[in-house]
Structure formats: C-alpha cells, structure tokens
Structure 1
Amino acid sequence: MNKLATRTATALLLAAALAGCVNTTSSGEVGVKRKQFVLLSSQEVDQQSALAYSQELAKAKQAGALNADPATSRRVRAISDRLIRQVGAFRLDAMKWQWEVNVASVDELNAYCMAGGKIMVYTGLINKLKATDDELATVIGHEIAHALREHSREGMSEEYAKQAGLNIVGQLAGLSQTSMQLAALATDVALSKPHSRVMETEADTIGLELMARAGYNPQASVSLWQKMMKAGGGSGPGFLSTHPSGDARIGELQRLIPKVMPLYQSAKRA
C-alpha cells in the first residue's frame, strides 16, 4: 500500500467521521455522553429494521412460534410497556416510536430490540434462567437501550465507512482480493470489536436507569448476569469479544447501582 493511498483513504474517512459525529441520547443520571459516528440516516436504518423485523415475525408465525403462550406474551409486554414509558429520560422522540413487542418460542437465551423499537424476546431466556420480572426488565431494558442509542445505525455506518475506505485503498494501491479480505478482517478487529464492547456497556448503563425508573430493582441486573454466566459455563474473556466479560460487566453494574437506586425508590413510592 503506497503512502498516497493511505493518506487519501484516511483523509476521506476522517472527513466523514467529523461530519457524522453525534450524541443520539441525553446523558441521563448515568451520564452516557460518547460522540457517535453515523453516516446513515435514522430513517434509512429504521425502514430496514422494520422490514427485517416483519420478516422475523413471519418466520416465527409460520413455525407456530409467535406469541404461542398468551400468558408469557402478556407478561413480556407488561414489563416492556413500563420500560418504554421511561424512554423520554434519554430521548423524547422515542416516546412516539411505533413500538412492537413479541415473544418467540425459541430455545435460546436471547432477546433484541431493533432500531425504531421492535422488540423480540425468546422463551429460552425466560425458561432456562427462570427469570423474575426484575431480571427480564434487565434484559429488555438493555435491548431498548441499544435502540435508543441507535447502535444499529452506528454499526452500519462504521461498516459502510470501512468498506468505502477499503475500496478506495484497494483501487489506489492495486491490492488483490485476498489482501482486501485480510485488510477487512484487520479493520474489523481494530475498529468494530472495541466499539461493540462500548455499545454493550452503554446498553447496560442506560438499561439500568430505565429499569430503575420503571420500578424494577436494579440489583436484579447482577443476579441476571450471574445466571447468564452459569448458563454459559462461566465468564469468557472480555478481550477480542463483542461483549464485556461476565465479571467485568457485573463489576460495572455494581458500581452504577447506587446512582440509580434513588430513582428506583422514588418509582416504588409513586
């Protein structure tokens, strides 16, 4: 790779980064303030997410797995609704999102909230962990936080920028396809993985405040992740992972819980 190619690609990506640095949420009591790199619009990402969500709903419905247990669906929606009523603490526009909450009978420890407020909870998460309402609020609050911080938009923007930069460098430097693939892998490890860990920590942090404001005990975040660690056979290494290690995650939550306990106590008195 010659110096001209490197300088050109770096300059273009830097210009894009400076133009696209925003903070998508208010900081809340927990103080989330990181500037985020975004190139794509919220509208683009929300539209694609809504389409993807509808496809997932169709698959689950076809398999007979969509909201198959009415009692479980009511429970998940009741918890989600309480959390959604608190999203204005981080962004007022989210109060007007077209929120959707569904449950899929899938034997996995998983849940997600796509951009624009499209929530899905898998029954494996509930059944395998024997999750309490407070523990479910931990997970759902975490996933809602991803949507509030527009982590999908941020991740897609980073991938868009990486591919654009690699294409520019490849064209100018005449790299082979194999070299381009290696460059993409190196960029992924250097850029995407650290950002993903930051996003996970932000989602834990914002989710903790959401659950406290909704009247769910933030101490349950610790018991939830302890159960997750046990179900996963212990805590994996935090380095070169898209998630913080279990021990690191629990330590950070324990540090933040005193900040949000007054919100929880106030919500319980209301």
Structure 2
Amino acid sequence: MRLPFLRHLVFMLFLILLAGCEETPTGRSQLALVPEHLMGQMGEDAFDQMRRHQPVSNDAAINQRVQCVAQAIVTAAEASYPAVSLPSVWEVVVFDDSSPNAFALPGGRIGVHTGLLRVAETPAQLAAVIGHEVGHVLAEHGNERLTQQLGIKAVLLLVGFFGEGDLGHQQLMQALGLGAQLGISLPFSRTHEEEADLMGLAIMARAGFDPQQSVALWRNMAAVGGGQPPEFLSTHPAHGSRIEALQQAMEEAMSTYRTVTPATCSW
C-alpha cells in the first residue's frame, strides 16, 4: 500500500523542483537552490583550507604566466556573459602540486597546480583549462550539484521512512541509490563538463587565445591520463567525445577570435 503513495510523493517532489528551474548561460534548464552568498562562503572556506594544507608556488615566472592568463579569462568571461553576476575580485593562487589540475570556486577563487603547466604547453592551452573552470562557476554547477545531492538524500530518506518494514525494503533502497547515482549524479556531471568546455571555448576566444589550442590541450591530457572508465560510468566525458564536441563548436569560436586582439601573455 505504501509504494503507490511513495510514487506519488516522488512525482510531486519532481514537479515542485521542476517548477523552480532556471537556465544556465547556455540556456540549459537548471535547478540551483543554494543561496549565492552561502556558495561564496563555502568557496572561500574551501580555498582557505587548501592554502593552509597545500604548498603555494613561489616561482615568480610561473605565477606571472598564470596571473596573466587568468586575468584575461576573467575579463573575457564578463564580456561573454554580461547577464551573469560575477565576483568583483578574483583571487588566483598557484599550488605546488605535480598533478595536472586547476579549479575555480564560487566567490572568485582560482587555483592552478604547477603540474598543469607541464601539460598545457602554451598560454592558450592554459586559457582553455581556466576558461573551463570559470565556466563551471558562471553556470553555477557547484550549486546545481549540491542541490541534486540534497534532493537525492531527501527522497531516499522519505523512502526509508515510509517504506520501513516492507518486503524487499533493503533491496529497494539499494536500487534507488544505484539508480540515483547512474541516472542523475553521473550524467549531470558529464553535462556540466560538456557545458563548461563550450563556455570555456567561447571565453578563451573572446580573451584572444586561439581556441584550436583547446583540442591540442585535451590531446595532451589524453596522452598523460592513461585509461578512462567507460563513459557511462564516468563523471567526465571521454577525451575523444570532448574533442569532438569542441571541434563542432570551433567555427563559431574562431569567428570570435578573429575579431579580437590576440592575447599577449608570454610563456
């Protein structure tokens, strides 16, 4: 008797959430319910914690390279998406870490690992990464992911509460958990990555970096990254899928690139 009720309850929750949907800068429907100031505070706290526990690079040349590219990307992001509310000040820190990684957090924090500079061989390739990470912030992907996770936990809690004692309850909870992971969490992560790729491509082109270098970057990443899990079980698109999507959007990005002054960041 309880399962039909649960189905109606979950469906009603879905309709309520759907009614609150907004759109990302690319026009994709999105549900991001965490207050912006709270996301900014969480980003600031996380960044401060990283600085306390990870060494920061003091190499002046590396810092100059990263700062130049990051500032150009932030300026271009503001010009590319003027309707999006952006932090007035961005803090950029280079971490002495051998992994080829970078990130941007709500509230205007950008972190770049020194290891990334061994994979991003040109300023434009670094711009592709930073543009991608800033794209995540502009599209509020962190907010959307947090909202999704809170929603999944809430639904599972309701199922656990109302379904307790039913035959097969434990199997039902396990199936719902697996379904949420494969059907919601992972696909949405890939959607975020693909959206950030395309936003980053537009931003780097507006900043005066050759967008074709984004393809070169991901080929470099594929060369050092080794094998990837099957795409349907991965939070990131396969390198080949990523490159194909970038190439499909390249003509528009190149049109923008031809209209701006090339970036002058040295390497």
TM-score over 0.5 for the pair = yes
Deviates more, 1:83-92 or 1:49-58: 83-92
Q: Secondary structure at the match of 1:266?
A: coil
Q: CA deviation at 1:182?
A: 5.0
Pairing 1:182-201 to 2, within 5 Å after superposition: 183-201=176-194
Deviates more, 1:73-82 or 1:5-14: 5-14
Q: CA deviation at 1:251?
A: 0.8
**Amino acid of the structure 2 residue aligned with 1:37:** L
Deviates more, 1:76-85 or 1:238-247: 238-247
**Amino acid of the structure 1 residue aligned with 2:7:** T
**Amino acid of the structure 1 residue aligned with 2:200:** G
Mapped pair 1:52 → 2:53: no
In 2: Cα distance, 1:223 partner to 1:96 partner: 30
Q: CA deviation at 1:67?
A: 2.8
Q: CA deviation at 1:125?
A: 1.0
Pairing 1:52-71 to 2, within 5 Å after superposition: 52-60=46-54, 65-71=55-61
User: Which whole-Å deviations, capped at 9, do the CAs of 1:154-195 have from their partners, x for residues lacking one?
Assistant: 000000111111111111111667864553232111101111
**Amino acid of the structure 1 residue aligned with 2:38:** E
User: Which whole-Å deviations, capped at 9, do the CAs of 1:7-61 have from their partners, x for residues lacking one?
Assistant: 1122123212322x11142xxxxxx21010122122221111111111111212x
Contact 1:68 1:104 in 2 (8 A): no
Mapped pair 1:22 → 2:22: yes
* Partner residue, 1:80: 70
Q: Secondary structure at the match of 1:66?
A: coil
**Amino acid of the structure 2 residue aligned with 1:140:** I
User: Which whole-Å deviations, capped at 9, do the CAs of 1:222-258 have from their partners, x for residues lacking one?
Assistant: 1000000010125653222111111111111111111
**Amino acid of the structure 1 residue aligned with 2:44:** A
In 1: Cα distance, 2:214 partner to 2:159 partner: 44
In 1: Cα distance, 2:58 partner to 2:171 partner: 47
**Amino acid of the structure 1 residue aligned with 2:35:** S
Q: Secondary structure at the match of 2:233?
A: coil
How many residues end up aligned between the 2 structures? 258
Q: 1:97 to 1:172 in 2, by over 3 A?
A: farther
Q: Secondary structure at the match of 2:249?
A: helix
* Partner residue, 1:28: none
**Amino acid of the structure 2 residue aligned with 1:125:** L
* Partner residue, 2:117: 126
* Partner residue, 1:222: 215
Gap runs ≥5 in structure 1: 26-31
Pairing 1:139-218 to 2, within 5 Å after superposition: 139-174=129-164, 180=173, 183-218=176-211
Mapped pair 1:265 → 2:258: yes
Mapped pair 1:102 → 2:93: yes
Deviates more, 1:154-163 or 1:93-102: 93-102
* Partner residue, 2:245: 252
Mapped pair 1:40 → 2:27: no
In 1: Cα distance, 2:53 partner to 2:183 partner: 35
In 2: Cα distance, 1:87 partner to 1:123 partner: 23
In 1: Cα distance, 2:149 partner to 2:184 partner: 9
User: Which whole-Å deviations, capped at 9, do the CAs of 1:85-123 have from their partners, x for residues lacking one?
Assistant: 012221445454331111001010111001122110111
Contact 1:102 1:119 in 2 (8 A): yes
TM-score when scaled to structure 2? 0.90
In 1: Cα distance, 2:153 partner to 2:81 partner: 31
Gap runs ≥5 in structure 2: none
In 1: Cα distance, 2:172 partner to 2:75 partner: 49
In 1: Cα distance, 2:105 partner to 2:175 partner: 30
Contact 2:209 2:262 in 1 (8 A): no
In 2: Cα distance, 1:236 partner to 1:227 partner: 18
In 2: Cα distance, 1:269 partner to 1:75 partner: 16
Identity rate of aligned residues, in percent? Answer: 34
